[in-house]
Chains A and B, each alone.
Chain A
């Protein structure tokens, strides 16, 4: 059985989480996501998600340096990220509690 749990590897969420520590260009985002989550996106997936986030004004493109263009979180992107993380927190805490109380875990 694989360990992919769908929404937890949502590219949009991971990109927002990566940009929460500061603006990054595409390659740095891929490396950062890989280091903190173990998820390794391919460039097509990354830019598909980045374009959607940019279209939804959750991230913004900054001035490019050569071929590399950094992206930063917008205020609404930060709010969306905080809301998603709060939801995940609740899921984690409820999940832990239920696992702890499960019959086989006494």
Chain B
């Protein structure tokens, strides 16, 4: 369609007023419409006002894409922070069996206490392992993709791997009954406090290392997807841990009040699980949005 030259030229100038990202995304489509549609002064005015509006509300510009990446990163870091709170609460809830004689006496009369603790142990360990594993995947990806401008992820990887190794060692040692609060038969070992402190230290150090590396780099989409899948497993594990903890708290309150239900710890665990679930939901939404934008 033949356009009046000055209207087409003015429309082209108005198009240049859009944010760069907006132009890259919608520019060719708008050019196509301008080439095929009868233009008027109102078209130029509409484009100019819309361009100004796009600067105020970049619905889909490069700024938006960058902020989506930032939101994705912050969601992942948020999940990791929730994990720290969860780990502290989980490890502390398991110390409900301290002192051991009182616990064993309560379990003798109320065997459901042992079942509740078992559920808390298993699901909590799965949640921690899944989310820590997701963090490691992300960290490995960040290290592989590092470029000249963003060096410095090697040390966080080494620190996180060391923390993960100690973390696994603590879980295994506790599970086979060497010490710590995981073995339901022997109850908390002599170094239960040390075990809890060690576990929490590992999680805090590992999370800090992963968060540092993630903030410095851009892990690829596959790693983020895998991390989110492991995060989902972790959040499901957290949910079961919360269920087990509430069950344990109710059973202790009703059947063995002399032990004392760890209510504050259970509430902390619920908050951490909800926090992680919300962050995971947000991260999954951002991921879907990014995929759609590509």
- Which residues of A are at the interface with B, using a C-beta cutoff of 8 A? 25-27, 30, 42-48, 50-52, 54-55, 57, 60-61, 64, 66-69
Contacts and interface: CB of A to CB of B under 8 A. Distances in A.
B54 A43 contact: no
Interface centre among B48, B50, B292 (most CB of A within 10 A): B50
B47 A44 contact: yes
A50 B37 CA distance: 18
A48 B18 CA distance: 11
A91 B181 CA distance: 64
The dominant DSSP class at the A interface is: helix
Contact of B54 (A48, A60, A69): A48
A67 B47 CA distance: 18
A45 B48 CA distance: 10
B60 A54 contact: yes
A46 B37 CA distance: 13
Given A48-B53, A67-B31, A27 B37 contact: yes
Nearest to A51: B59
A57 B30 contact: no
Interface residues of B, number: 28
Interface of B: 14, 22, 26, 28-34, 36-37, 42-43, 46-51, 53-54, 59-60, 64, 288-289, 292
A44 B29 contact: no
A42 B59 contact: no
A51, A52, A61 — most chain B CB neighbours (10 Å): A51
B48 to A, nearest CB: 8
B34 A43 contact: yes
A27 B59 contact: no
B37 A43 contact: yes
Nearest to A25: B29
